[in-house]
């Protein structure tokens, strides 16, 4: 599958389309904390940090965070807009992380794993930079579980393009255990993606979800036409999503 180039279009819409409210960010930080010791500070690696959606929150909640992002234009937005005194951003990839051995207490891949080309090399590289006893959190959409988002119920044709990007849970687990990681826990986090259906749809129209890069113009236009016809019948209420996390131990 062709790799998505975030420097082409997505960098311009990602921050607005995928922004996370403070309450939702706090929900995620609490979920991570359930699997970590109470000791602070803890240093994080936010791998594939993008525009810095999670990185400052990790630093604020735990102590410090290194954002590593291959897209120059995504990383430039993070440096300009997602700052924190104990956050750093650097160019790098999952296969080449610019950090010393055993330098972080925890690492996060948040909606990232399906973009990684050499998964075996990436799993080993993560093993290198996480301290012994440290944790790796993998939030990955899975091919055997369709995300519980309303637009797939309205436009089922989009679901295939989305799930075709992903691996099954057993495949993702195997990617890491095969490199020496131990699966420590499986968790699920229910978080508020948008304050209303109207807001959620406005953000969807930005096409900041990588699925749209797998669709033709005709498929996109037909899907949005179907959604607009259905919107009046849908309740304009907060939109929640339940996401799976796989937690591995070094």
CB 85 within 8 A of CB 64: no
Residue with tokens 């089922």: 156
CB 68 within 8 A of CB 98: yes
**Considering the chain, what percentage of its residues have pLDDT values greater than 70?**
99
pLDDT band at 162 (very low <50, low <70, confident <90, very high): confident
Q: What is the pLDDT of residue 174?
A: 98
For the record, the structure tokens of 154 come out as 């309205």
Q: What is the pLDDT of residue 160?
A: 85
How do beta strands 104-110 and 182-194 pair? unpaired
pLDDT tens by residue, 100-122? 999 999 999 999 999 999 999 99
The b-or-e profile of 193-212 (16+ CB within 10 A means b, else e) is: bbeebeebbebbebbbbbbb
CB 245 within 8 A of CB 183: no
Of 105, 250, 104, 118, nearest in space to 175 by CA: 118
Helices (H), 53-155: 55-62, 72-81, 119-129, 150-154
CA distance 53 to 11: 12
pLDDT band at 232 (very low <50, low <70, confident <90, very high): very high
For the record, the structure tokens of 202 come out as 């406005």
pLDDT tens by residue, 163-219? 888 999 999 999 999 999 999 999 999 999 999 999 999 999 999 998 999 899 999
Query: What are the chain's domains?
Result: 10-146+165-193+241-249 (3.40.50.150)
pLDDT tens by residue, 121-151? 999 999 999 999 999 999 988 988 877 899 9
CA distance 248 to 250: 7
The total number of residues written for the chain in this structure: 250
CA distance 112 to 47: 8
pLDDT band at 1 (very low <50, low <70, confident <90, very high): low
Question: Quick one: how far is CA 163 from the chain centroid?
Answer: 15
Residue 50 class from Cβ within 10 Å (0-12 exposed, 13-18 middle, 19+ buried)? buried
Phi/psi at 237 (5° precision): -130, 165
**Considering the chain, what percentage of its residues have pLDDT values greater than 90?**
88
């Amino acid at each position: 599958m062709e790799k998505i180039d975030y420097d082409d279009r997505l960098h311009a819409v990602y921050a607005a389309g995928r922004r996370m409210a403070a309450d939702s960010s706090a929900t995620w930080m609490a979920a991570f904390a359930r699997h970590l010791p109470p000791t602070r500070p803890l240093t994080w690696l936010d791998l594939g940090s993008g525009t810095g959606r999670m990185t400052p929150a990790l630093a604020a909640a735990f102590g410090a965070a290194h954002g590593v992002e291959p897209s120059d234009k995504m990383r430039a937005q993070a440096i300009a807009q997602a700052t924190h005194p104990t956050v750093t951003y650097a160019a790098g990839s999952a296969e080449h992380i610019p950090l010393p051995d055993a330098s972080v207490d925890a690492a996060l891949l948040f909606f990232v794993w399906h973009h990684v080309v050499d998964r075996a090399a990436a799993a080993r590289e993560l093993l290198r930079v996480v301290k012994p006893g440290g944790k790796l959190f993998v939030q990955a959409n899975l091919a055997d579980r369709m995300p519980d988002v309303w637009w797939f119920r309205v436009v089922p044709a989009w679901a295939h393009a989305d799930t075709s990007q992903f691996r099954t849970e057993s495949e993702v687990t195997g990617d890491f255990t095969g490199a020496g990681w131990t699966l420590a826990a499986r968790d699920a986090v229910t978080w508020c993606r948008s304050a209303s259906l109207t807001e959620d749809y406005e953000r969807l129209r930005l096409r900041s979800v990588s699925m749209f890069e797998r669709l033709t113009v005709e498929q996109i236009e037909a899907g949005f036409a179907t959604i607009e016809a259905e919107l009046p019948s849908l309740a304009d209420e907060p939109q929640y999503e339940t996401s799976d996390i796989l937690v591995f131990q070094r």
